[in-house]
């Protein structure tokens, strides 16, 4: 797949979550639900949400600092910053705010939107710049604050989401540690998971009417998204493994987007990967969208579970619909 001989390695990771915790019991005062229902159907026990004084950019900045520290790279060494998010502080993009707050004066920065697949799409995007030799050091952040857009009266969705940020530092290396990938989109099923713009006409003059709306809340057809995930995710991981020329037995860790424990179990069962190799932390954080994969990676690396040279099969999936898998070696 890689013709240039140039490659990359992930040499640092970091994460950040807000202080405020919402437990399942807290949610029972908002909607008709129970800790028992939420834990058995999703595996989630609590989630973190940002307070009035916190922001997406702050979380992303903290995660980035931790990742740079582990990688022993200074912000001035960075060539590129990609912020995978669907919930920027500024619709024009928040990556530049992070570039400025870090003091990454040589880096170009942009946002990338692919919902819960954002981290995997960002990893593959970064790899293209690195394999062509354009950029040597890249900071990739996955961060989302979906609590801003959750309908707290909808028990089908408000139980699932939490806020967080995770980051990785990529450095040009040979041999390439990104062994294979596969990405997919299916916009014809986009209506199953949306956070859409809602137009409100504003009359400027008798001849001119413009739109001055805002965004609605998250809408999800949970059953359809669930079916999509358990069907498509194993297939795309198998395709990425094939491209990496790796068998499923050679995978040390399965690192899925942390959406629902039942999805993690169904995918690992289909792939015949034992649960001891499945990384999961959604119990504490819920679904943090683009942050969930680097957040779980960071915990697993810092706890000593994931070791240098380990082969990780990761997959993101979600709104769009989008989904993607990448096989890489840690460190
Ligand atoms: N508490 C109690 N009961 C509930 C709750 C709740 N929080 N939510 C739904 N129910 C009820 C329903 O009303 C329904 O009742 P009924 O039978 O009387 O109609 C019953 O429980 C079963 O509902 P289902 O929707 O069938 O429940 P299911 O087992 O499918 O679980 C869930 C719902 C957890 C949302 C599941 O469908 C799911 O995880 N879907 C995938 C979500 C996902 O992975 N999203 C990832 C992408 S996110 C992104 O890209 C931003």
Q: Residues 121-165: pLDDT tens digits?
A: 999 999 999 999 999 999 999 999 999 999 999 999 999 999 999
* Whether 323 contacts 317, CB under 8 Å: yes
Tell me the mean pLDDT in the region 27-56.
97
What are 132's strand-pairing partners? none
Strand 163-173 with 178-185, pairing: unpaired
Distance separating alpha carbons of residues 227 and 243, to the nearest angstrom: 25
What's the whole-model pTM score? Answer: 0.95
DSSP letter assigned to residue 273: -
The answer on 184 and 151 residing in a single domain is no
Q: Which of 13, 24, 61, 116 is catalytic?
A: 116
The answer on 97 and 77 residing in a single domain is yes
Distance separating alpha carbons of residues 52 and 69, to the nearest angstrom: 28
pLDDT of residue 4: 74
Q: What is the rounded average pLDDT for all residues in the chain?
A: 97
Residue of minimum CA distance from atom 33 in ligand 1: 222
* Whether 118 contacts 84, CB under 8 Å: yes
Residue 79 lies in a domain: yes
C-alpha closest to that of 260 among 121, 191, 157, 163: 157
The answer on 240 and 159 residing in a single domain is no
The answer on 138 and 27 residing in a single domain is yes
pLDDT of residue 72: 97
The answer on 161 and 16 residing in a single domain is yes
Tell me the mean pLDDT in the region 6-26.
97
* Whether 141 contacts 65, CB under 8 Å: no
2 assigned to active site: no
The answer on 138 and 53 residing in a single domain is yes
Q: Is 93 in the pocket of ligand 1 (CB under 6 A)?
A: no
C-alpha closest to that of 266 among 230, 315, 238: 230
The answer on 50 and 18 residing in a single domain is yes
Residue of minimum CA distance from atom 13 in ligand 1: 156
Residue 285 lies in a domain: no
The answer on 184 and 150 residing in a single domain is no
Residue of minimum CA distance from atom 41 in ligand 1: 226
By most ligand atoms within 8 Å of CB, the mutation choice from 118, 156, 264, 290 for ligand 1 is 156
The answer on 184 and 155 residing in a single domain is no
Tell me the mean pLDDT in the region 315-326.
97
Q: Is 319 in the pocket of ligand 1 (CB under 6 A)?
A: yes
Q: For residue 5, give every residue at least 6 positions away whose Cβ sits within 8 Å of its Cβ, in sequence order, or none.
A: 174
What is the per-residue pLDDT across 199-248, written as a single tens digit (0 to 9) for each? 999 999 999 999 998 999 999 999 999 999 999 999 999 999 999 999 99
Residue 199 lies in a domain: no
Q: Is 190 in the pocket of ligand 1 (CB under 6 A)?
A: no
158 assigned to active site: no
257 assigned to active site: yes
The answer on 46 and 100 residing in a single domain is yes
Structural domain containing residue 312 = 180-188+219-278+299-329
Residue 229 lies in a domain: yes
By most ligand atoms within 8 Å of CB, the mutation choice from 39, 85, 222, 282 for ligand 1 is 222
Of the residues 177, 209, 242, the one at which a domain ends: 177
- Structurally, the chain folds into a number of domains equal to 2
What CATH number did the domain enclosing 229 receive? 3.40.47.10
Q: Is 85 in the pocket of ligand 1 (CB under 6 A)?
A: no
The answer on 247 and 229 residing in a single domain is yes
pLDDT of residue 5: 84
Of the residues 149, 177, 205, the one at which a domain ends: 177
Tell me the mean pLDDT in the region 50-64.
97
Of the residues 145, 177, 209, the one at which a domain ends: 177
């Amino acid at each position: 797949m890689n013709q240039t001989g140039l490659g990359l390695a992930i040499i640092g990771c970091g994460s950040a979550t807000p202080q405020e915790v919402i437990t399942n019991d807290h949610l029972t005062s908002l909607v008709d639900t129970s800790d028992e229902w939420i834990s058995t159907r999703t595996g989630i026990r609590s989630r973190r949400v940002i307070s009035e004084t916190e922001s997406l950019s702050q979380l992303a900045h903290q995660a980035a600092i931790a990742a740079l520290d582990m990688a022993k790279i200074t912000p001035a060494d960075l060539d590129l910053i990609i912020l995978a998010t669907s919930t920027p502080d500024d619709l024009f993009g928040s990556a530049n705010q992070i570039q400025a707050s870090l003091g990454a004066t040589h880096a170009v920065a942009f946002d990338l939107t692919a919902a819960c697949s954002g981290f995997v799409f960002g990893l593959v995007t970064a790899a293209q710049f690195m394999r062509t030799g354009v950029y040597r050091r890249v900071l990739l952040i996955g961060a989302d604050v979906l609590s801003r857009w959750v309908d707290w009266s909808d028990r089908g969705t408000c139980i699932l989401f939490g806020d967080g940020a995770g980051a990785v530092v990529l450095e040009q290396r040979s041999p390439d540690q990104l062994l294979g990938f596969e990405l997919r989109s299916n916009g014809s099923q986009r209506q199953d998971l949306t956070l859409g713009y809602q137009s409100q006409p504003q009359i400027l003059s008798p001849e001119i009417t413009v739109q001055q709306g805002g965004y609605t809340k998250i809408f999800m057809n949970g059953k359809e998204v669930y079916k999509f995930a358990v069907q498509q995710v194993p297939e795309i991981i198998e395709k990425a493994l094939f491209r990496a020329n790796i068998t499923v037995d050679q995978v040390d860790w399965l690192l899925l987007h942390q959406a629902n424990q039942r999805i993690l179990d169904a995918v690992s069962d289909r792939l015949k990967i034992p649960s001891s190799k499945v990384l999961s932390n959604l119990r504490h954080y819920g679904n943090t969208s683009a942050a969930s994969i680097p957040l779980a990676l960071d915990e697993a690396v810092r706890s000593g579970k994931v070791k240098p040279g380990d082969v990780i099969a990761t997959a993101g999936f979600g709104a769009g619909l989008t989904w993607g898998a990448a096989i890489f070696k840690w460190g």
